[in-house]
Amino acid sequence: MSRPAPQTPPPIGLLAELTHRCPLACPYCSNPLALDSRADELGATVWARVFAEAAELGVLQVHLSGGEPASRRDLPEIVGYCAKSGLYSNLITSGIGLSEALVEALAARGLDHVQLSIQNAEEASADRIASYRGAHAKKRQVARWVTATGMPLTINAVIHRANARRATAIVEFAVELGARRVEIAHAQYYGWAMLNRAALMPTREEADEARAAVEAMRDRLAGTIVIDHVAPDYHALTPKPCIGGWGRKTLNVTPSGKVLPCHAAETIPGLEFWSVVDHSLADIWFNAPAFNAFRGFDWMAEPCRSCDRREIDYGGCRCQALALLGDARATDPVCHLSPRHDLVAAIAGADSAPAVAPAYRYRAHAKI
Amino acid sequence: MSAGEDIAATARPSLPRGVRLKRDQARGGFVLLAPERVVRADPIAAAVLERCDGQKTLAEIIDDLCATYRGERNRIEADVRRLLAELSAKKMVAL
- pLDDT the model gives residue A365: 61
Q: Which of A203, A201, A174, A199 is nearest to A188 (CA)?
A: A201
Q: Is residue B67 part of a domain?
A: yes
Q: Is residue B76 part of a domain?
A: yes
Is A284:A259 a contact under the CB 8 Å cutoff? Answer: yes
Q: Where are the alpha helices (DSSP H) in chain A?
A: 44-57, 75-84, 100-108, 123-130, 135-149, 167-176, 191-195, 197-200, 204-220, 281-287, 289-292, 310-313, 318-325, 341-352
Put the strands of the sheet holding B30-34 in their side by side order: B20-23, B30-34, B37-41
Distance in angstroms (rounded) separating the CA atoms of residues B6 and B10: 11
If you measure CA to CA, which chain A residue comes closest to B89? A223
Is A333:A325 a contact under the CB 8 Å cutoff? Answer: yes
Q: Residue A86: which region, alpha, beta or left (left: phi > 0; alpha: psi -120 to 50)? A: left
In chain B, count of helices (H) and strands (E)?
3, 3
**What integer best gives the mean pLDDT of chain B?**
94
**What integer best gives the mean pLDDT of chain A?**
94
- pLDDT the model gives residue A368: 37
User: Is residue A63 within a helix (H) or strand (E), and if so which, with residue range?
Assistant: strand A61-65
If you measure CA to CA, which chain A residue comes closest to B86? A223
- Which chain A residues are within 8 Å of B18, Cβ to Cβ? 112-113, 151-152, 180
Q: Is residue B2 part of a domain?
A: no
- pLDDT the model gives residue A319: 95
Collapsing DSSP to helix, strand or coil, A286 comes out as: helix
Burial class (CB in 10 A: 0-12, 13-18, 19+), A273: middle
Count CA within 13 A, CB hemisphere, residue A242: 26
Mean pLDDT, range B67-93, rounded to an integer: 92
Distance in angstroms (rounded) separating the CA atoms of residues A51 and A86: 9
Q: Is residue B14 part of a domain?
A: no
Collapsing DSSP to helix, strand or coil, A279 comes out as: coil
Q: Is residue B69 part of a domain?
A: yes
Name the DSSP class of B77. H
pLDDT along chain A (368 residues), means of 10: 66 97 93 92 98 98 96 98 97 97 98 98 95 96 98 97 96 97 96 94 94 93 90 91 92 97 94 98 97 94 94 94 96 96 95 92 67
Is A101:A133 a contact under the CB 8 Å cutoff? Answer: no
Q: Is residue B53 part of a domain?
A: yes
In chain A, count of helices (H) and strands (E)?
14, 9
DSSP string covering A66-101: SS-GGGSTTHHHHHHHHHHTT-EEEEEE-STT--HH
Q: Is residue B52 part of a domain?
A: yes
For residue B83, give the CATH number of its domain.
Answer: 1.10.10.1150
Distance in angstroms (rounded) separating the CA atoms of residues B93 and B83: 10
Residues of B with a Cβ under 8 Å from any A Cβ are 16-20, 22, 24-27, 31, 33-36, 38, 88-91
- pLDDT the model gives residue A6: 53
CA distances to A98, A101, A252, B53 from A110, rounded to whole Å, are 16, 14, 22, 18
Is B59:B37 a contact under the CB 8 Å cutoff? Answer: no
Peptide bond into A67 cis (omega under 30): yes
Q: Is residue B25 part of a domain?
A: yes
Residues of A with a Cβ under 8 Å from any B Cβ are 9-10, 12-13, 57-58, 60-61, 86, 88, 90, 112-113, 115, 149-152, 154, 180-181, 183, 222-223, 225-226, 228
Query: Which of A60, A150, A226 is opposite residue B90, by nearest beta carbon?
Result: A226
CA distances to A24, A92, A228, A316, A321 from A13, rounded to whole Å, are 26, 14, 18, 19, 24
Which residues form the domain of B84?
Answer: 20-89
Work out the number of other CB atoms within 10 angstroms of the CB of residue A94: 27
Distance in angstroms (rounded) separating the CA atoms of residues A305 and B19: 39
Domain count along chain B:
1
Model pTM? 0.94
If you measure CA to CA, which chain A residue comes closest to B88? A223
Return the residue in A82, A87, A88 with the most chain B beta carbons within 10 A, the one to mutate for interface testing: A88
Is A32:A266 a contact under the CB 8 Å cutoff? Answer: yes
- pLDDT the model gives residue A366: 52
Q: What is the pLDDT of residues B10-47, one digit of tens each?
A: 999 999 999 999 999 999 999 999 999 999 999 999 99
ipTM of the complex: 0.91
CA distances to A147, A166, A181 from B92, rounded to whole Å, are 16, 28, 11
Distance in angstroms (rounded) separating the CA atoms of residues A238 and A310: 11
